[in-house]
C-alpha cells in the first residue's frame, strides 16, 4: 500500500478534520485517511496511483492549503514559553513588539504635549476634564498599534480562518476602545460615530489577508464595537465611569496578547519568513493621526446635553 503525506494549513477544530476527511474520501483508490487537526499532518493510503495535484486541489476547494512532505516532520516549537522567549529576541518579529510599543507611546505622548501647549492650555480645567481620558487614549492606541504592527510585519500572510479572527478582534476592540473614550467626553452620538469609523477602518484593513470575508468581518466588528463602547460610557456615566477604564484596558491587553500569540503560532507552523518590512515612519504617523484627530474631537467636537 502506498502513502502520501501532506501538511495541511488552516485546520483549527474537529469540524475542519471531519470536513476534509469527507472531501478526500470521495477520491478513488483511497483506502485510509489518517488526519488530525491538532498536528496538521494528513497521511493518505492508496492502492493505485493517485493524482497529487488533484488531492491538493480538493483540499484547497475545501478552504485549506496543503503541501507534500516526506520523512519525519515536526511543526516548529510555538509554545507560550517560546513565544515569551522570542519577545526578548531582537532578531525576531516578536522581539520588536515591546520596542514598538514604547516607541509609539513616547512619540504620541510628546506630540500630545506639543498639542496641549499649542492649542489646549487656555481651556479652563483641561486636565480635570480631559487628562484622564487622554492618558487612556494613548495607552489604548499603543495596545492596538502593537498588535497591528505584528500583523503587518508578516505582510498579512495568514490563513482565512486566522484572518477572520484578526479582523474581528482588531475591529471590535479598536471600535470599542475609541467609542468608550469619546463617549465619556462627548456623549453617545459622537462616541459612536468616532468609534465605529475607526473600528471599521482598522478592522477591515487588518482583516484583508483573507479577502472580502476578513474585510467584512473587520468592518462589522468595528461597527458593533464603536456603538457598544459609546453605550458603555453613557450607561456608566453616574456609576464609576472612570473605574471601568483600567478594567477594560487590562482585559483588552489580555485579548490582544492572545491574538499576538495566535499570530505567532500561525507564522511558526506555516514557516512564514520575517522578511516583510513595514514602513515604521508611516505606521507611527498613522497612529499619531488617529490620536490627534480623536483628541480634537474630544475637546472641540459636539457634546450631548449631558456633557455641556
**What confidence category does residue 274 fall into, taking pLDDT thresholds of 50, 70 and 90?**
low
**54 vs 180: CA distance, rounded Å:** 51
Residue 262: pLDDT over 60:
yes
- Whether residue 233 has pLDDT greater than 90: yes
* pLDDT score of 32 more than 90: no
Where does the pLDDT of residue 184 fall: very low under 50, low under 70, confident under 90, or very high at 90 and above? very high
Residue 199 pLDDT exceeds 90: yes
68-74, Cβ contacts within 8 angstroms, sequence gap of 24 or more: 68/4, 68/5, 68/6, 69/5, 69/6, 69/7, 69/41, 70/5, 73/5, 73/7, 73/41
pLDDT of residue 68 exceeding 80: no
Half-sphere exposure of 191 (CA within 13 A, CB side): 28
38 — pLDDT class (breaks 50, 70, 90):
low
Give the model confidence (pLDDT) of 149-159 as tens digits: 888 887 766 77
Angstrom distance (rounded) from CA 279 to CA 283: 6
Is residue 72 over pLDDT 70? Answer: no
Cell of 15: 469540524
Residue of 165 and 176 predicted with greater confidence? 176
Average pLDDT for residues 66-94, to the nearest whole number?
72
Q: How far is CA 221 from the centre of its chain?
A: 12
- Boundaries of every domain in the chain: 2-68, 80-307
- What value does the mean pLDDT of the chain take? 84
If pLDDT is split at 50, 70 and 90, which confidence band does 49 have?
confident
Q: Which of 14-18, 189-193, 256-260 has the lowest mean pLDDT?
A: 14-18
Fold entry, domain 2-68: Alpha-Beta Plaits (3.30.70)
Whether the full predicted model's pTM is greater than 0.85, yes or no, is no
Q: Please state, for a pLDDT cut of 90, what percent of the chain lies above it.
A: 35
Predicted confidence band at 308 (pLDDT cuts at 50, 70, 90)? low
Question: If you average pLDDT over residues 121-130, what whole number do you get?
Answer: 89
Tell me the C-alpha distance between 233 and 256, whole Å.
Answer: 22
More confident residue, 290 or 7: 290
pLDDT at 1: 66
**What is the reported pLDDT for 79?**
78
Cβ-based neighbours of 226, under 8 Å, separated by 6 or more = 175, 176, 178, 179, 191, 192, 193, 194, 195, 196, 197, 198, 199, 200
Q: Which letter, b or e, does each residue of 69-96 get, where b requires 16 or more Cβ atoms within 10 Å of its Cβ?
A: eeeeeeeeebeeeebeebeeeeeebbeb
Amino acid at each position: 500500500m502506498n502513502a502520501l503525506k501532506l501538511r495541511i494549513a488552516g485546520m483549527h477544530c474537529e469540524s475542519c478534520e471531519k470536513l476534509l476527511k469527507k472531501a478526500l474520501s470521495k477520491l478513488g483508490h483511497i483506502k485510509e485517511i489518517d488526519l488530525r487537526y491538532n498536528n496538521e499532518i494528513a497521511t493518505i493510503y492508496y492502492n493505485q496511483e493517485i493524482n497529487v495535484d488533484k488531492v491538493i486541489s480538493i483540499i484547497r476547494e475545501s478552504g485549506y492549503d496543503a503541501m507534500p512532505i516526506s520523512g519525519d516532520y515536526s511543526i516548529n516549537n510555538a509554545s507560550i514559553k517560546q513565544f515569551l522567549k522570542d519577545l526578548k529576541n531582537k532578531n525576531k518579529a516578536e522581539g520588536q513588539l515591546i520596542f514598538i510599543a514604547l516607541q509609539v507611546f513616547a512619540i504620541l505622548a510628546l506630540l500630545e504635549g506639543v498639542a496641549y501647549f499649542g492649542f489646549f492650555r487656555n481651556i479652563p480645567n483641561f486636565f480635570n476634564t480631559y487628562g484622564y481620558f487622554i492618558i487612556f487614549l494613548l495607552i489604548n492606541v499603543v495596545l492596538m498599534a502593537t498588535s497591528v504592527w505584528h500583523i503587518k510585519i508578516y505582510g498579512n500572510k495568514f490563513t482565512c480562518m486566522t484572518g477572520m479572527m484578526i479582523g474581528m478582534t482588531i475591529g471590535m476592540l479598536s471600535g470599542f476602545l475609541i467609542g468608550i473614550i469619546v463617549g465619556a467626553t462627548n456623549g453617545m452620538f459622537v462616541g459612536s460615530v468616532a468609534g465605529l469609523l475607526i473600528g471599521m477602518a482598522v478592522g477591515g484593513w487588518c482583516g484583508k489577508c483573507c479577502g472580502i470575508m476578513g474585510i467584512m468581518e473587520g468592518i462589522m466588528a468595528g461597527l458593533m464595537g464603536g456603538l457598544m463602547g459609546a453605550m458603555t460610557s453613557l450607561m456608566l456615566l453616574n456609576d464609576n465611569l472612570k473605574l471601568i477604564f483600567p478594567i477594560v484596558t487590562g482585559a483588552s491587553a489580555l485579548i490582544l496578547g492572545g491574538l499576538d500569540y495566535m499570530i505567532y503560532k500561525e507564522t511558526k507552523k506555516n514557516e512564514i519568513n520575517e522578511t516583510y518590512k513595514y514602513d515604521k515612519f508611516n505606521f507611527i504617523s498613522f497612529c499619531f493621526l488617529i490620536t490627534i484627530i480623536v483628541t480634537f474631537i474630544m475637546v472641540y467636537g459636539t457634546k450631548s446635553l449631558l456633557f455641556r
